[in-house]
Amino acid sequence: MTLTNRIASLIAFLALSCLVGTAAKAMTFTLIPAAGACVPHPCILADGDIDERSVGAFSAFTRQAHLGPGALVVLNSPGGNVLQSLMLGKAIRQQGFSTTVQGGGACASACAFVFLGGVERSAGPSARIGVHQISNPASALGDLSAADGEWLVSLVAVYVKDMGGDLSVLIPALRTAPCDMHWLSPSELSRYAVVTKVAAD
């Protein structure tokens, strides 16, 4: 079974599992070992909501799995906590990992910032990467007030630039209401330097 098929099967299973309820599911990490020339590096399927536990869980997972630079993080997430997503993206970059969204998968809202953490970033033709306004700056910042929303946007902008993305990606995000989603087109993904290459589904 190819890497794409193995990932697609996992994503399909996880999607069906989510039909049981609508409660947020904390991000989990599943290892897909390297398998010769077809899968030269191990992959990590990161699935679920990004919350205050995600960064610690990711760090513990990668240590236990003894993963080094070159591993691929396969993202499938509706988003979550913005500050935690920036921290998770930085952790991915620091470890020299790449990121991808495979066909049948989606990386929305705060997940898009995690995606930018990849050294190399790819998305299958049918993969979806979406952005929108931060829904609640006050909750994203913990004890800070909503008045600090501008500070959070500035923090995100610095992060996007540091990760090699184009700040123009924030334009469709800021124009899209929190209850909606702007799914970036293939041309936008390339133009805004969200992806560094296109992956096959």
Percentage of the chain lying above the pLDDT 70 cut = 77
**Among 80, 34, 23, 33, residue whose Cα is nearest residue 57:** 80
Better-predicted residue by pLDDT, 201 or 48:
48
Write out pLDDT tens, residues 22-51: 456 999 999 988 765 546 788 999 999 999
* Alpha carbon separation from 72 to 4, 7, 29, 46, 153 (Å, rounded): 12, 12, 12, 10, 28
For residue 66, is pLDDT > 80? yes
Local confidence band at 182 (pLDDT 50, 70, 90 cut-offs): very high
- Asked if CATH classification 3.90.226.10 holds for the domain at 3-198, the reply, yes or no, is yes
For residue 20, the model assigns a pLDDT of: 36
Domain-by-domain residue ranges, the chain?
3-198
Average pLDDT, the chain: 84
Which residues have a Cβ under 8 Å from the Cβ of 167 and sit 6 or more positions away?
157, 160, 161
